[in-house]
Structure 1
């Protein structure tokens, strides 16, 4: 069953996101302390990892799980290539900024995925637990693709002022960043302890999950609107691409998910992963690897345009497409 449009837009998590955007737009002094926002982020990643691991402990590792992981990994490698071409052509970006932005649009947004998972669960078409592993795996390949594209452009254009990057530091940032460690680590723990072991901590990580998600999306609404208001380097062409990328990438991902045999909820979730853009892990890696790239471009596109689009429209759109294809 696809989520009803009115039910989606009137769900508490979406309404809190809209409230945050409104409060920022009218310049309210409403704010979430940074320490609290970080704590909520840790909580959400641990909770979704645990629940996914418990689900996999019940179903086991089968051909469908492996197909989903392969599909996610392939999307994360390939989608930045399409983004790079459009950013260089239609977006008129130089190769460094195009590579940095492309990396964002092959990686994923954990919060978008968590929000979609809750909405699909309420609609009766939940994403399978193994999609958490797909989420974690899709964090990294896009970063490598984006860096490869940017550095190839620098070599071809004889750019000599690019700072050398500490390769060991980059590997650590890409493979050992907090979101990957928390998601995969919690997923493994959930798989090991199973349903019986999870029962002891279920009140914390399941009962309070939606409430924490509401507060986190309130903060994300505040941040997204503020970034958009303060944007200076964003052009109309880049704003258009920030809407085109989730539509195209999400559609490709839903088709691929359906092709490899994923059920409706998981195919829709793969669509959400393909459509989402990272605004946490990838910016951290880009600051280290491509300091010449402009954060005002890649953060504004991913956080202030693509993220709200997916939260308000994309989640429902990809569910409807997955249901139609099935």
Structure 2
């Protein structure tokens, strides 16, 4: 099987991080690439959403969003009882693993495109919807254990108006309102350049993931195993949800990928406000240094092979 070129770019960044090369992108450029990917994914999804009845898509969203509610409830007792983590840490990590990684989603989409596997192009709708439920469940778990902040206004702002929700949701709305013809004039920027921008972004992601490896000593063996074994479990739940939603094999694979992913952008900001007692660097190290590389290097090719009829081979 030929490696997806996107994965090779991630490998380049990871190698640079391991040998401590000076490859960090300028902060402004990294932020720009991140904003571009969020908006581009939203626009592409919105264009396709304009072709489908909204009610039908929302009906499909019910089993998909259920994954975002269920995963934190599975993660929390594992972290508390087997890992013996404090309630604040367990709730925070559980929220990260119930939410989704936009970068992992983008890699999954690019991988299917490289294989020529079809999928429902309005899937970014589900990414936006999956950002929020896990945060709510994580906060509920923390409050139930007697930890967490009461700053409701700041928390609501982080949940509903964070960068990911605002840009991807805004892109969805613009794409849906404008339709394919309306988006056509800017398609060369937001459609044609997408995979090239993603490749550059993944160089930085590989570098960041490698730079986090030094924190693994504090994470410990249990959390290392958790960060590696939770993605396949999340992928199974995502695949079941995708099938219940009646999605195509490519769509099922993408929902499996979302279930396998862990947030490292939207959720950390919300958790810092909601659960200030948690050791937030543990969640970031798990999601960015363990789960994200696992999904990019192993998980996504495996999910594609198993769920798209061997098309990945």
TM range (shorter): over 0.9
Give the structure 1 partner of residue 269 of structure 2.
284
Q: CA deviation at 1:165?
A: 2.9
**SS of match in other structure, 2:219:** coil
Give the structure 1 partner of residue 17 of structure 2.
24
Contact 1:50–1:189 (8 Å) recurs in 2: yes
Give the structure 2 partner of residue 239 of structure 1.
224
4+ residue runs over 4 A deviation: none
Contact 1:25–1:226 (8 Å) recurs in 2: yes
Contact 1:54–1:195 (8 Å) recurs in 2: yes
Find out whether 1:261 has 2:237 as its counterpart: no
Map Cα deviations across residues 40-97 of structure 1 (whole Å, 9 max, x no partner). Answer: 000011111101111111233353x234311221111111000001111222211110
Q: CA–CA distance in 2 between the matches of 1:108 and 1:75?
A: 10
Contact 1:117–1:126 (8 Å) recurs in 2: no
Counterpart of 2:35 (choices 32, 42, 48) is 42
Structure 1 unaligned blocks of 5 or more: 1-5, 155-161
Map Cα deviations across residues 89-132 of structure 1 (whole Å, 9 max, x no partner). Answer: 22221111000000000000001001110111221223312210
Aligned residues: 310
TM-score with structure 2 length normalisation?
0.95
Find out whether 1:100 has 2:92 as its counterpart: yes
Counterpart of 2:112 (choices 94, 116, 120) is 120
Contact 2:120–2:247 (8 Å) recurs in 1: no
Give the structure 2 partner of residue 322 of structure 1.
307
Q: CA–CA distance in 1 between the matches of 2:89 and 2:149?
A: 17
Q: Are the structure 2 counterparts of residues 211 and 318 from structure 1 closer, same or farther at C-alpha, using a change threshold of 3 Å?
A: same
Q: CA–CA distance in 1 between the matches of 2:282 and 2:215?
A: 11
Q: CA–CA distance in 1 between the matches of 2:217 and 2:280?
A: 11
Structure 2 unaligned blocks of 5 or more: none
**SS of match in other structure, 1:125:** coil
Q: CA–CA distance in 1 between the matches of 2:148 and 2:133?
A: 22
Q: CA–CA distance in 2 between the matches of 1:41 and 1:123?
A: 24
Map Cα deviations across residues 298-320 of structure 1 (whole Å, 9 max, x no partner). Answer: 11111100000111111122223
Q: CA–CA distance in 2 between the matches of 1:238 and 1:137?
A: 27
Map Cα deviations across residues 256-301 of structure 1 (whole Å, 9 max, x no partner). Answer: 2113311111110000011100000001111111111112211111
Give the structure 2 partner of residue 70 of structure 1.
62
Contact 2:234–2:260 (8 Å) recurs in 1: yes
Give the structure 2 partner of residue 157 of structure 1.
none
Q: CA deviation at 1:324?
A: 5.1
**SS of match in other structure, 1:199:** helix
Q: CA–CA distance in 1 between the matches of 2:294 and 2:120?
A: 24
